[in-house]
Every structure is written in structure tokens, then in C-alpha cells.
Amino acid sequence: MIRRVVSTATLVSALVAAPLLVAGPASAIPACKAGYQCDRFYYSNAAHDDVVGGYTRFCDGTTTTWGETTTYVVTVQSACQ
């Protein structure tokens, strides 16, 4: 009887902890490739209705940002000339 209680408690603990161990990192924003200009556009929602912010890394390495950042992001990269 005690063995069954301990086994059940161990199983329940493992099942509760498993999602915490298996969960991976949140989707990462793609890294900007060397030799490319990188533009990121941040949107207000998943439907990408309204742009609320932006980020640009220019070919010379300088950056500019405006607005706000959100989890709804689209990254566009263009080869430097």
C-alpha cells in the first residue's frame, strides 16, 4: 500500500514537472546575417494589422529604432550593395 502511494506521488510529480522541462524557448527573432541590412517591423497583433514599431540595422552597422516592440514581429533582410 505504501509503495503504491509513493509510486503514485512520484508519477504525479513527474507529470507536473514534465511540461516545465520539455518546454523550449520562445520563438526567437532571426539573427541579422552579416552583409545584410536587417529591418524588423513590430505589429500590434497576430494579424499584423498595425505597425507599432521598427528596428533597422544598416549595412555600416548603425541601428535605428522607433515605437514599441511586441511579440508580433516580421524580419526582412536585404543584401548590402
Report pTM.
Answer: 0.62
Return the domain boundaries, the chain.
2-79
CB atoms within 10 A of CB 75: 13
The predicted structure's pLDDT at residue 30? 73
The predicted structure's pLDDT at residue 31? 82
Radius of gyration of the chain from Cα atoms?
A: 22
The predicted structure's pLDDT at residue 14? 47
In tens digits, the chain (81 residues) has pLDDT values of 565 544 554 544 544 444 444 444 456 677 888 899 999 999 999 999 999 999 999 999 999 999 999 999 999 999 998
What is the amino acid identity at position 52? V
